[in-house]
Amino acid sequence: MAEPFRTLIAAVRSTGAYVSVALWVFVFSPIGMVLALMFKWPGVLYLLGRGGVHLGFAAAGIRFKVRGTRWVQRTRGAVYCANHTSNLEPPIIFMALAETHPRLKVLYKGELRAAIPLLRNAFDMAGFVPIQRRNIEQSTRAIDQAAEAMKSGDSFLIFPEGTRSRTGELLPFKKGGFVMAIKAEAPIVPVAIYGARAAMRKGSPVIKPVTVFVEIGEPIETRGLDISDRNMLMQRTRRVLESKLNLLRSPDKK
């Protein structure tokens, strides 16, 4: 099949994915929030969210394979730390962990709240924590809030690069998520994800049908560490992610 034709098909499928997910959010987000409020059942938001993601992935032709689910922390809070090259990575990781960790929360950029006026209410009800990196006072409060939630057993997904890499190579890490893990004495669980950039590059709305590979690594403990150890923890996590990504880039290792 010629490349222009494949691109056209991908664009058509992408349009179908965007429209179907938008309709899903428009119809089911209000229903989910009402049910969550009436029955104090935030889990309904996750169930409906996964339904929307399934719909979008089916329309766009996105598949994924997961290894290392034995390292998912089922009985304690943890920080799941992933590399970031595409907007598809957050929903892929959520789906990859859905069976073993169905209530994963996110520490996310506060700037996104203006772009998702309907979903931001659902995010608040689900316990997602926005962080404004240019506002030190708010960032500190957000990190403390997330750390307290982890002490109660919640887990968070973070993208320590803070933005998507255009090359696939790891960008410099932000320290907030590692400070959060140390304060909560929660382990860092490295999550390497490869293939999402080929599906959807930064700046492009087209989603190409691909198979994405997710590798969950052995947890890195933080008990006994203090804030002065954050750089060491950050570098150790970075080395693990780089190693996992190098393996995933090798065709015979996928």
Whose tokens are 């957050």? That residue is 90
Average pLDDT over residues 1-8: 79
The 10s digit of each residue's pLDDT in 61-94 is 999 999 999 999 999 999 999 999 999 999 999 9
Q: What is the pLDDT of residue 2?
A: 72
Asked whether residue 254 carries a pLDDT value surpassing 70, the answer given is: no
For 22-71, write each residue's pLDDT tens digit: 999 999 999 999 999 999 899 999 999 999 999 999 999 999 999 999 99
d(CA 50, CA 118): 17
Domains plus CATH for the chain? Answer: 61-253 (3.40.1130.10)
Pick the more confident residue, 164 or 202.
Answer: 164
Residue/partner pairs of 115-118 with CB below 8 Å, 24 or more apart: 118/25, 118/26, 118/29, 118/30
